[in-house]
């Protein structure tokens, strides 16, 4: 497994760059992964990242995009729970890109 080093700490990632161990996650590795994905992290990005981590903690899976959109709408309101908003934050696919930055595995049912 490839390793990356961020702020003096080593992280194991898989061949697609997803963090292998969820518990390793911290803000530094999130920033590094965001940079790799060419995402500039603002408060709105962190809100979704934190939401995803809470979702994972509750259900032990990374949600498919359709499910993420619906869950965000329920928690943060329809202004944020829609494809347009989420794709603006994470242009290469919210479920895939945001999950990666959040340190989650690739979403199940991501086709």
Give the interface with another protein as residue ranges (CB under 8 A).
Answer: 58-61, 63-64, 66-67, 70-71, 108-109, 111
Is the Cβ of residue 39 or residue 48 nearer to another protein in the bound state? 48
Per DSSP, 37 falls in state T
Q: Min. distance of Cβ 54 from another protein in angstroms?
A: 12
Rounded to the nearest 10°, the torsion over CA 64, 67, 69, 75 is: -130
Indicate which residue of 54, 88, 92, 110 is catalytic.
110
C-alpha–C-alpha distance, residues 108 and 7, integer Å? 30
Is the Cβ of residue 9 or residue 66 nearer to another protein in the bound state? 66
Q: Min. distance of Cβ 42 from another protein in angstroms?
A: 26
Is the Cβ of residue 59 or residue 92 nearer to another protein in the bound state? 59
Residue 83 makes CB contacts below 8 A (sequence gap 6+) with 65, 69, 94
99 is catalytic: no
C-alpha–C-alpha distance, residues 108 and 9, integer Å? 28
């Amino acid at each position: 497994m490839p390793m990356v080093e961020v702020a003096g700490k080593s992280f194991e990632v898989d061949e697609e760059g997803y963090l292998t161990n969820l518990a390793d996650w911290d803000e530094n590795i999130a920033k590094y992964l965001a940079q790799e994905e060419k995402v500039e992290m603002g408060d709105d990005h962190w809100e979704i990242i934190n939401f995803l981590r809470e979702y994972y903690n509750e259900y032990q899976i990374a949600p498919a995009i359709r499910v993420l959109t619906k869950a965000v709408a329920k928690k943060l309101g329809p202004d944020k729970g829609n494809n347009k908003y989420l794709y603006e934050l994470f242009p290469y696919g919210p479920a895939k890109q945001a999950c990666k930055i959040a340190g989650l595995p690739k979403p199940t049912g991501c086709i």
